[in-house]
Amino acid sequence: MSIGKGCRYGSHRVIEPKGILPQPAQRIDNTMTIYDNEVLIDVSTLNIDSASYTQIRSSCGGDAAKMELMIMSIVAERGKMQNPVTGSGGMLIGTVREIGPEYPGKKLKAGDRIATLVSLSLTPLKIARIRHLDPDSDQVDVDAQAILFESGIYAIVPSDLPEKLALAVLDVAGAPAQVDRLVREGDTVCIIGGGGKSGILCCYQAMKNVGPYGKVIVVEYSESNAKRIVDMKLATDVIVADATDAIDVYHRVIAITGERGCDVTINNVNVPNTEMTSILITKGQGLIYFFSMATSFTKAALGAEGVGKDIELIVGNGYAKGHSDLALNILRESADIRALFERLYV
């Protein structure tokens, strides 16, 4: 039963502070009675974004019970899954339970399995219990409900891929889609944090776009993740290094590219303080795409100014038109990536 029409952007759900939208709000109304233009979802799994999950795991010392309590307390306090340290959320997968009579998505129906393509940091959420949490996996199985606003985008879960595999990929679908837009044939590209979930998808798309005369350089902290990239031939060069050490990474990248540096840098890391690394390795009038939610855009903007670099800095918008199809098609095109992700997420 619905209770009147709300704002298409969800501002009617904001409790504190008034007058802003749900994402920057401190607290939103997570009452699971829908307005006329909302959708009610029975949630089965949350995919908490990497920066947030890493912060939660670190602050809880990797203890699963403590992590569960922290997630439950965040949602209870805020009405949404928004990490108060990183400000980020993630996404969810679930079954449509009810659709408001004025919701405009005529193709959506009760019983559809969907993945929301909007952040948990703005999604009204109520968790009854956490059924399973693995400190090493950012997918958390829950009994919960959530609200999708009229403006919220979603994807029907594909029938040819396991649900958790699709969820893992859709969570970061914006990254390879932006790579497809930004990387041109013959470019020299550096992907910082190339061995993680979003990084691997970006590597695949970058290699596809640069063609035989371009370069894809990966900077990866984990030796095992770096080996994956080498084994799957997802880069022309792989550097094992700490991306927070800007000078070390700069010298090692410049040894490959020459003093000119990279045309495009894609930053996928889930830890802070990698902004200057990205800036130093990118050529003047080059481009950096910060997909990482651990990025400080103050540090990036002022840091580029401080070293005299005229560089285009792009904020990592998780939405790009057609991004879900592009990301899922990578799994269909690459048996190696699909096999790896199935091992990790299914």
Whether residue 4 has pLDDT greater than 90: no
Span 221-232, pLDDT tens digits: 999 999 999 999
Span 16-28, pLDDT tens digits: 999 999 999 999 9
CB 220 within 8 Å of CB 229: yes
Average pLDDT over every residue of 191-205: 95
Give me 302's structure tokens: 């002022």
Average pLDDT value for the chain = 95
Higher-pLDDT residue of 196 and 219 is 219
9 three-class SS: coil
State if pTM tops 0.85.
yes
Span 157-170, pLDDT tens digits: 999 999 999 999 99
**Dihedral sign, CA of 328, 193, 137, 346?**
positive
Looking at residue 310, its pLDDT comes to: 96
Looking at residue 290, its pLDDT comes to: 95
Domain ranges of the chain: 11-157, 174-340
Looking at residue 99, its pLDDT comes to: 96
Distance CA 101, CA 4 (A): 10
DSSP letter string, 21-42: -TTT-SEE---S---TT-EEEE
Q: Does domain 174-340 match CATH 3.40.50.880?
A: no
